């Protein structure tokens, strides 16, 4: 199997997103009407879900990407000892552009899980998979140009691993009725290995 089905960090557990790993109706509730879901999706290229069918299609698409070796999406859950242990905190994805030997990081968290440092902890674990297991050469991450919270979190772990902000991608990704600018950051395998301690 190309991607691991499950992995852990000090505080978090990551389990492959499938119909079996979640309750579809609970996941729909989180993606549609979780408290402050509009803040969560404000800078995401998706809107709150409007039906269980939409959530089911999303999960099906994720399972197909896994089967095609294009991407791995994981449910993030805090471990025992953490506040809200066992609850779904959000999702993270590692997408793979095999021709460019590049992995793409993505993540969203429910509002009540913000500010806990989960972004950097998750990034370190997913980068280990990208560089050590999949032998990719670059890991890239982007964020909406106006998303200051993601900017701070991403910049912190990118700098910690010796990476850099490559620049501004203008008119890069659809958000609602507009196409937004995003900043792109990258970390090379060499930078990761030099700075992983």
11, 29 contact by CB (below 8 A): no
Task: Read off the pLDDT of each residue in 149-171 and give the average, rounded to a whole number.
Answer: 97
Per the structure block, which two tokens stand in for 146?
A: 């106006």
171, 181 contact by CB (below 8 A): yes
Task: Read off the pLDDT of each residue in 132-154 and give the average, rounded to a whole number.
Answer: 97
Would you identify the CATH topology of the domain 6-195? Aminopeptidase (3.40.630)
As a whole number of angstroms, the longest Cα–Cα distance in the chain is: 46
pLDDT at 197: 73
Task: Read off the pLDDT of each residue in 152-157 and give the average, rounded to a whole number.
Answer: 96
Through-space distance between the first and last CA atoms of the chain, rounded to whole angstroms: 28
Cα–Cα separations (whole angstroms), residue 174 to 38, 55, 153: 17, 19, 22
For the chain, the domains span: 6-195
pLDDT at 96: 98
Task: Read off the pLDDT of each residue in 111-133 and give the average, rounded to a whole number.
Answer: 97
pLDDT at 176: 77
pLDDT at 39: 96
Specify the pairing of strand 71-78 against strand 12-16: antiparallel
Nearest 10 degrees: CA dihedral of 144, 148, 151, 157?
-140
Q: Identify the bridge partners of residue 77 per DSSP, sorted by sequence position.
A: 13
Per the structure block, which two tokens stand in for 66?
A: 């896994």
Name the strand (E) or helix (H) holding 66.
helix 52-67
Sorted by sequence, the CB contacts under 8 Å of residue 57 that are 6+ apart come out as: none
**pLDDT band per the 50, 70, 90 thresholds, residue 98:** very high
How far apart are the C-alpha atoms of 55 and 7, rounded to whole Å? 24
What sign does the dihedral 106-43-49-174 (CA atoms) show? negative
């Amino acid at each position: 199997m190309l991607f691991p089905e499950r992995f852990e960090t000090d505080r978090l557990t990551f389990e492959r997103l499938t119909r079996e790993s979640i309750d579809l109706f609970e996941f729909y509730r989180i993606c549609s009407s979780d408290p402050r879901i509009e803040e969560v999706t404000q800078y995401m290229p998706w809107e709150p879900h409007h039906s269980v069918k939409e959530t089911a299609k999303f999960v099906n698409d994720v399972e197909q990407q896994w089967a095609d070796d294009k991407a791995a999406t994981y449910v993030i859950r805090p471990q025992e000892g953490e506040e809200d242990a066992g609850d779904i905190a959000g999702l993270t994805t590692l997408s793979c552009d095999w021709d460019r030997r590049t992995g793409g990081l993505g993540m969203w968290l429910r509002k009540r899980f913000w500010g806990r440092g989960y972004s950097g902890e998750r990034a370190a674990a997913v980068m280990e998979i990208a560089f050590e297991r999949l032998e990719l050469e670059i890991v890239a991450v982007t964020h909406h140009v106006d998303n200051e919270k993601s900017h701070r979190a991403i910049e912190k772990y990118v700098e910690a691993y010796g990476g850099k902000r490559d620049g501004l991608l203008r008119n890069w990704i659809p958000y609602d009725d507009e196409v937004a600018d995003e900043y792109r950051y990258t970390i090379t395998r060499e930078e990761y290995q030099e700075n992983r301690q």
